[in-house]
Structure 1
Amino acid sequence: MKKIDGLTSLRAIAALWVAICHFYYQVPDGGGFVERILRLGGLGVPLFFVLSGFILSHTYQRKFRYGVSKQQLLTYGVSRFARVYPAHFAMLLLYAIVLVPTGLYPEYFYDTAASFLASLALVHAWGFYPVPVWNQPSWTVSVELICYAAFPLIAVATARYSWRRAIGLAGIVASALVMGTLIFQGEWVFYFPLFIVKYGACFLLGCLIYFPFRDGVGKMGSVATMLSVAGAIVGIIYASSFGPRFEGFIPVFFALWIFALAAGSGPARKLFETRPFVYAGEISYSYFLAHEAALLAMLAIAEPLGFKPTDIPMGVKIAAGLVFALPLYHLVEEPGRRWIRSLPERMKFVRAPAR
């Protein structure tokens, strides 16, 4: 299935928004409108899940149309494991072997041997702990693992859906996200068991908006694409300005943005397909997992030199994240992904002489 480069770029926007939010933690409130939006970077997390649902559907929906064979399930499982685990494993070891023993990481009450093993197994955000543990951004990967496991079932269950039926169900899911935010409010944002429901719904929304794209419905010209992308961005900013209470509206605008880049054309799409944007999207997972460790290391270096967190410009913090993310991507994530994906073929080769 042909890769949609513009969607890769969106991952960079989500990862950077989340990272900037965390970089602001040591800085007192008091900025203007732009800073207030940047401080709400946690609202960018739904983009990961809506995007993941759409991309997995684009990659596997047709393959799973008539069911999922054992071989297909094995290939899918290995591919998903290879996608997320090498960088996660490397960062977890970095915390356990370097950051915690040296005191660079302020160890929390829930950072125990048990939570380390839970993180190792990627089940640490399944309701066992009320807060993120160890490498804190990795909770999203733990929730994503549930979505990965559910996707073959979703694909088979919806295989014969028309695009109209899928969009109707997407409207129900979007409405549930809006109502969930308004009803649960703070718990919806911070309570882990509800994270699974909330982000699982975002993932399902991404799966469902793929159907009109699959059926060639909703193709956009240059102007329509530009208006859709602009409208999505304005909607995200406007909803974010009201804070977490209106978070439920944001996945809808993300879905519009994703669909516009997939089905659209013209400058608005081509901008996100440029190599710098795409490369930023490719390294975004490593950046997302490494940015807090980079911040901790930078603050530990800056403090003896007399620098306070408020003295460090945002651009320097973003650059520090790259110092960690680039080697993680090029030396761990990509080689690890290729090696794990090659394992099934290697195993076949090893077993061949015994036949």
Structure 2
Amino acid sequence: MPMAQWSPYSNGPIRKSVAADSGSRLDVQGEKQDYVALTTLRAIGALCVVEHHAWYYVYPAWSMNWFFAGVQYWPDYFFVLSGFILTHVYGQSLQKANGNGVYNYLVARIARVYPLHLFMIVVLFGFELFRLWVSHHTTAQLHHPVFAEGTSLKYLPSNLLLIQSWGIHHLNTWNDPAWSVSAEFACYLLFPFVVRWHVLDQHRSALLFGVLCVAGLLWVQLTHRTFHVTYDAAVPRAFFSFGLGCLIRTYLVAVQHALRRLPPTFWQCLAILLCCVLFAWKGAKGIYFIPVWVLLIASLTFENTPVSRALSWKPFVTLGDISYSIYLIHIGLLWAFLLVRDVSPDSVAWILQLPPPVTLAGLFAIVIGLSYLTYQHVENPGRRFVRQHFSRKSAARVAEAAARRPAAGPAPAAMEEGKA
């Protein structure tokens, strides 16, 4: 049976992952848990990041109002959620997996995040080549030098290897949002060790691991005097948040039992209210968001509530499906806007004079439309290609395929390849 796939910016809806390993996806009543509402929140987070970068790139055209205050901390939601879902999907299977099983897990993770990442690197590289042509063949004054600073050619190897935010550079490079994908890629590599060394399922080690995660997050906040660390301490920031998500899923029965002391809807509304308060509070430190993300994820594991059902509305979940594309491709659109502004300032001046909500609505519409296309024509085909060409078949699957093979004549190519 194929291994499930999931990423917090990128993967398909969480409900699809349930079929891959139903034995580890049952609640205490034996019912499958889909957690579809959490998929919708991925879309909200991705759109908030789009808004943050839009403000950053067009500053000072827009004022820094309260709505922009804390949206840069949404990646921490992705990190916590990633630990939760990977434990949900792979927690039991990785404990029993042989070398092929661990290898296939890594292939599945790479398949989910790398094709679109590579696509955007190619797009942005081509865009820089076009800017180079513009700088040599027009009189336009480019505000940012070509193939310099974050888009220097020397940063391409680390971006292609997805290690650009592992503390090896002094700035964000190429596709800015991909710093979190790089940090999460490190979490993917560490996760099998966490599972196979029984860090989570032994109470004493789990307690120590939880203390380590909390202490590590405090260390990030205190030593850097900010939680918005991307290229330097991104991996610790991601892994310690990721670890909390792993613990939530491992001890979900106990967590839900504690939350049931009050109606689940109360906890969900409280978590959403706290999110809004932190976004409105300009002085809120990034570390304050972590317990709110934890409460939000834990409370939304109760699926039969008005809040969960509202967040599970199909159009919302569809946005969650394409959230990884939303997260990664919007920078290309902003780059294009900046180039047009450099070449012909008057042609975009009217856009900057519009009320920010109108501009954002237009930007969201364009990004969502393009993201749907990249989801259909880059993400999904890329995922299938990597899984089909690099996954290893287990001996049981090979034997099963042989048993189904016709006795005479060569096997069809599709049957030989199988589906990853």
Q: TM-score range by the shorter chain?
A: 0.7 to 0.9
Q: Establish whether residue 181 from structure 1 lines up as the match of residue 221 from structure 2.
A: yes
Give the secondary structure class of the aligned counterpart of 2:170: coil
Residue by residue, what CA displacement relative to the aligned partner does 1:45-64 show, whole Å, maximum 9, x if unpaired? 10110111101000000112
Q: Which amino acid aligns with 1:229?
A: Q
TM-aligned CA deviation for residue 217 of structure 1: 4.3
CA gap 1:205/1:29 in 2 versus in 1, 3 angstroms? farther
> RMSD over aligned Cα, in angstroms?
3.1
Q: What CA distance in whole angstroms lies between the structure 2 residues aligned with 1:248 and 1:216? A: 21
1:165, distance to aligned residue in structure 2 (A): 6.9
- Name which of 179, 182, 188 aligns with 1:142: 182
1:13 to 6, 28, 44: 44
**Structure with more helix by fraction:** 1
Aligned 8 A contact 2:70 2:284 in 1 = no
1:43-192 matched pairs, under 5 angstroms: 43-66=73-96, 68-102=97-131, 106=144, 107=146, 108-158=148-198, 161=201, 166=206, 169-170=209-210, 173-174=213-214, 176-178=216-218, 180-186=220-226, 188-190=227-229, 192=231
The separation in 2 between residues aligned to 1:111 and 1:87, in whole angstroms, is 18
Aligned AA (1:114)? K
Instruction: Determine if contact 2:73/2:228 at 8 Å carries over to the other structure.
Output: no
- Structure 2 residue runs without a partner (length 5+): 1-21, 26-33, 135-141, 399-410
Q: Which moved more, 1:165-174 or 1:306-315?
A: 165-174
Task: Please state if 1:283 is matched with 2:317.
Answer: no
CA distance in structure 2 between the aligned counterparts of 1:158 and 1:244, rounded to whole angstroms: 39
C-alpha distance in structure 1 between counterparts of 2:267 and 2:284, whole Å: 24
Partners of 1:45 and 1:279 in 2: CA distance? 20
- SS of 1:190's partner is coil
Structure 1 unmatched runs, 5+: none
Amino acid at match of 1:262: T
Q: 1:36 aligns with which of 66, 81, 94?
A: 66
**Conserved 8 A contact 2:220-2:236:** no
Over residues 281-320 of structure 1, what are the superposed CA-to-partner deviations in whole Å (9 max), with x where a residue is unaligned? Answer: 1100011001111122245446452425622511112223
Instruction: Give the CA deviation at 1:218.
Output: 2.9
Contact kept, 8 Å, 1:9 with 1:281, in 2: the verdict is yes
Contact 2:77–2:293, Cα closer than 8 Å, also in 1: yes
> What letter corresponds to residue 232 of structure 2 in structure 1?
P
Write the distance in 1 (CA, Å) between the matches of 2:312 and 2:207. Answer: 26
**Residue-pair matches, total:** 348
Distance 1:121 1:30 in 2: 36
Which amino acid in 2 is paired with 1:40? G
| Cα deviation digits, residues 190-239 of structure 1 (max 9, x gap) | 36332211121111111111122267843866972222122112222333
Which one of the candidate residues 17, 22, 41 is aligned to 2:53?
22
Letter in 1 for 2:308: R
| Normalised TM-score (structure 1) | 0.86
Residues 62, 327 of structure 1: CA spacing in aligned structure 2 closer, same or farther, 3 A cutoff? same
Larger radius of gyration: 2
Q: Is the 8 A contact 2:82 2:242 kept in 1?
A: yes
User: Given the two structures, how large is their TM-score scaled by the length of structure 2?
Assistant: 0.74
Equivalent in the alignment of 1:4: 35
**AA at the equivalent of 1:43:** Y
